[in-house]
Chains A and B, each alone.
Chain A
Amino acid sequence: NAGVTQTPKFQVLKTGQSMTLQCAQDMNHEYMSWYRQDPGMGLRLIHYSVGAGITDQGEVPNGYNVSRSTTEDFPLRLLSAAPSQTSVYFCASSSLAGTYNEQFFGPGTRLTVL
């Protein structure tokens, strides 16, 4: 199993550009989520999904869109990048079977917006 994969690993954008961060998992997990990590701020939840066709907002959703058309994929879209979106982005997934399961993280995408 590849686990949770993310592409690209690094990205530099100019203000106003758009892009999509890709996330995929091969563990058949129902739950998928996106976090951003900034120094001193921890991991902040952007959007999450509990299954195909179902998404919801987390703590810091503004400026980001998501969709979940398949169980495996959960892309994060930046419609008009801003310098405040410079961060490290992590995708994570977990099973919703049973009571509380480990959340597995992808390797992260380091995004710089100039």
Chain B
Amino acid sequence: GENVEQHPSTLSVQEGDSAVIKCTYSDSASNYFPWYKQELGKRPQLIIDIRSNVGEKKDQRIAVTLNKTAKHFSLHITETQPEDSAVYFCAASPASGNTGKLIFGQGTTLQVKP
């Protein structure tokens, strides 16, 4: 079945620096790759997603890149702020087409130091 590996498990940066989180997936049929942010004690919420026909997508300070050949995708956060501190999850759809099903990575705890 689909497997998603996420690295690093923890990441600490100074405010204003950039942060990069990387994920690899196993199912070459995967076509959809969302990223979720979970603040302490809260539910995960979608922050950005990318589909397989796109190599990069940006939304203000966050961007996601996708390399389908290598089966990996990354989240980039620029000019980090303390409110970016949270757990970030990558995910992949394990099949072509919208089945709803997502397989999540293990999560990255990002700490932004003021």
Contacts and interface: CB of A to CB of B under 8 A. Distances in A.
Interface of A: 30-31, 33, 35, 40-45, 48, 50, 58-59, 90, 94, 96-103, 105-108
Contacts of A102: 34, 46, 49
Interface stretch (B56-64, B76-84, B99-107): B99-107
Contacts of A45: 101-104
**Secondary structure of the A side of the interface?**
loop
Interface of B: 1, 6, 9, 31-32, 34, 42-46, 49, 51, 89, 91, 93, 97-107
Interface secondary structure of B, over-half rule: loop
Contacts of A90: 43-44
11 contacts: A40-B106, A42-B89, A45-B104, A90-B44, A96-B100, A98-B98, A99-B98, A100-B93, A103-B46, A103-B100, A105-B44
Contact of B107 (A42, A98, A107): A42
Contacts, number: 69
B29 to A, nearest CB: 13
A43 B1 contact: no
